Structure 1
Amino acid sequence: MSLQDIISKTIKDNNKPIGFDVFMNLALYHSEFGYYRSNKTLFGRHGDFITAPETSDLFGYTLARQCKQVLNSGDILEFGAGSGVLAAQILFELGRLSSLPDKYYIIELSAQLKNKQMQNIKKVLPEIFNRVEWLTELPKDFKGVVIANEVLDAIPAKRITFSEGCFVELGVDFQNENFQWKKFTQPYMRTGASLPDLIEEGYTTEINVQSIAWIKSLYDFISEGTVLLIDYGMDKSEYFHPQRNDGTLKCFFNHESSDDPFCNIGYQDITTSVNFSDIAESAVDAGFEISGYCTQAMFLISLGIEKCLLDEKDNKIRIKLAQEVKQLVLPGAMGEVFKVMALSKKQSVKLDGFKEQDLTNKL
């Protein structure tokens, strides 16, 4: 049975369309055929997309400096560690700074990715590999730094559309051997997430209710520490801009993007941008303090990414690093599309990553 068959059977068994969040969850996380559970190469030049850690080691080295400031003899926990490259970068740099945590925990749903992480980290850092531990559930009374790089965009979201004076949910139906969008009849009720004002007929957007619940779960297991969320997204005024009338849904396959989630099911990534205003609101409701929000570019610059270039004596390597830094900080590349948000619990230190810019008041 293929993933297409499994999803179409789910719709048939449901006797009506399923929510897009249900479809997205099956397409990405089905235990056998989901995109993130497959043996396909997902990251890097031979995959479907390139993340910041895959772009340059300097990303992880710079992020390590922010970790060092707030570790306070705590540990690090990374959600969805991809190929393990970011963990290796952070541990390498913290070792260089004599600030290694006792434990670097990783929570990873994919057995295939977990194996890849183990191989990559062991290969680069065999001498401290025993500090890395994979968890199957959230720890209790965690103290330290939590890192979620490109995690929120992959949490299944609902799609809603404005129809005849109210928002209705856009579900997924299966008719004539094809998946298709289908409007639910009852109005969509707001559940903890904001909705846009003053919009026109047919305006479509995404609401991520699960990410709000996820933020609450973070607060519950952290006794003291800082959460660093790094993802592509924006504040709600930009997220719900009238011109963004078809939402933020994006699919990635072989480095090409589309807005069609119904092709290459199980073989393409499906994402939605992060509404950081919703994340901030749910974080504050949970009990967190917002310790900063800015573009990835300004976060990395605040932490001195350019010093890594100046420290490099080899001219050829310095030219290569300069190209990588451009990819991470230039507006046309990752610099402004990606944002960094810090949430704190019982942590009063002013974070170095937001020295040059803090856009919290825009949220």
Structure 2
Amino acid sequence: MNLALYYPAKGYYMGGSQKFGEQGDFITAPETSDLFGFCLARQCAQILEGDDDLLEFGAGSGILASQILFELGRLNKLPRKYYILELSAELQQRQKDTINKTLPELLDRVVWLSSLPNNFSGTVIANEVLDAMPAKRLIKKDNDFVELGVNCQNNKLMWQLLAPYRNDKMQLPIGVEQGYTTEVNERAMAWISSLDNFIDKGVVLLIDYGMGRDEYFHPQRGAGTLQCYYQHKANDNPFEHIGEQDITTSVNFSDIADQAKNSGFSVEGYATQAMFLISLGIDEYLLAEKDEKKRALLAQQVKLLVLPSAMGESFKVLTLSKNKQVELQGFKEQNLVYKL
């Protein structure tokens, strides 16, 4: 998964093909509607103070950064700097082009990083970042979980049973049948720990598709959560279109929350994307639009963001804080931390 996604020049995220939007392989929330970024900006505005900065991990096409900067400017709450940590040179250039096209007057406020900053104070945003971190795939065999690796025979890649999986820090399903397959993401856990190393004071907003541990390890989820996306079609075969298709696994938000607490964070909020956006007044943007045609278009976009059959229920928002007390508006209508 790591090689297929991140191998220099050949990996999916390191090549030059269009990945996001209608011309790519999948559509993210920022591509769906500007209102996603505007609502997120409202939450950031509540958190940002003084000389605070904002840091976005993996900024994709740069659309979310543009949306947030535009709305923060309108709210007179711009951060001192808007940092983007992006490893792909191709995506960095795409992000610069997007921001320069939409907000040229704010381009000098945006700084691209290739490594984590030091002594950070402010807000961290990671939208659909955790799901793209390479995971380990496990299968139940003889009352044990065995890691699934990759073998190559006759120039064909296939699954290969490796050694029994051993990591006391990772919880695994209990009482499931032979052949039950699932994933664990040690890389995501390490990434959460790394946040604590550079954040002095601030709030972390994690937006991704996933679920709590009970649902993640449900006995009926026997095929795991691994999914691939190629030209807007989903499949479960990572050995096709290598370097040309996205490979993801859903986020186990209980694991992330536990790791965050062990790393020194407080878990402030956990909600569906729908309730998070509703709490931040996505309907207010809709009502404020006077043009009937534009309002009808916005209404369709809002449905994609909040309806259970679209992104509303499958995507969640988990928020962490460190050395900062703030009652977050995004969890006014719903806070499911107790379910983690």
**TM bucket, shorter chain:** over 0.9
Tell me the residue number matched to 2:96: 118
Moved segments of 4+, more than 3 Å: none
What letter corresponds to residue 252 of structure 1 in structure 2?
Y
What letter corresponds to residue 300 of structure 2 in structure 1?
Q
Tell me the residue number matched to 2:304: 327
Deviation at 1:120, TM superposition (A): 0.4
Deviation at 1:191, TM superposition (A): 4.5
User: Is 1:286 the equivalent of 2:255?
Assistant: no
Cα distance in 1, alignment partners of residues 296 and 168 from structure 2: 49
Structure 1 residues without counterparts, runs of 5 or longer: 1-23
SS in 2 for 1:35: coil
Q: So what's the TM-score if we normalise by structure 1?
A: 0.93
Checking the alignment, whether the CA contact within 8 Å between 1:77 and 1:106 is kept in structure 2 is yes
User: Is 1:127 the equivalent of 2:105?
Assistant: yes
Within 5 Å, give how 1:1-363 maps onto structure 2: 24-73=1-50, 74-184=52-162, 186-363=163-340
What letter corresponds to residue 235 of structure 2 in structure 1?
S
Structure 2 residues without counterparts, runs of 5 or longer: none
| CA offset digits 1:73-125 (Å, max 9, x no partner) | 21100000000000000000000001111100000011111000000001100
Q: How many residues align?
A: 339
Cα distance in 2, alignment partners of residues 191 and 257 from structure 1: 33
Checking the alignment, whether the CA contact within 8 Å between 1:192 and 1:209 is kept in structure 2 is no
Cα distance in 2, alignment partners of residues 225 and 37 from structure 1: 30
Cα distance in 2, alignment partners of residues 175 and 282 from structure 1: 38
Cα distance in 1, alignment partners of residues 277 and 201 from structure 2: 24
Q: So what's the TM-score if we normalise by structure 2?
A: 0.99
Cα distance in 2, alignment partners of residues 203 and 104 from structure 1: 43
Checking the alignment, whether the CA contact within 8 Å between 1:250 and 1:258 is kept in structure 2 is yes
- Indicate the RMSD between aligned Cα atoms, in angstroms: 0.6
Deviation at 1:190, TM superposition (A): 2.2
SS in 2 for 1:306: helix
SS in 1 for 2:222: coil
What letter corresponds to residue 121 of structure 2 in structure 1?
K
SS in 1 for 2:208: strand
Cα distance in 2, alignment partners of residues 40 and 136 from structure 1: 21
What letter corresponds to residue 74 of structure 2 in structure 1?
R
| CA offset digits 1:172-210 (Å, max 9, x no partner) | 1001211000111x3211242210111100000000001
What letter corresponds to residue 123 of structure 2 in structure 1?
V
Cα distance in 2, alignment partners of residues 191 and 270 from structure 1: 26
| CA offset digits 1:197-248 (Å, max 9, x no partner) | 1110000000000100000000110000000000000000000011100100
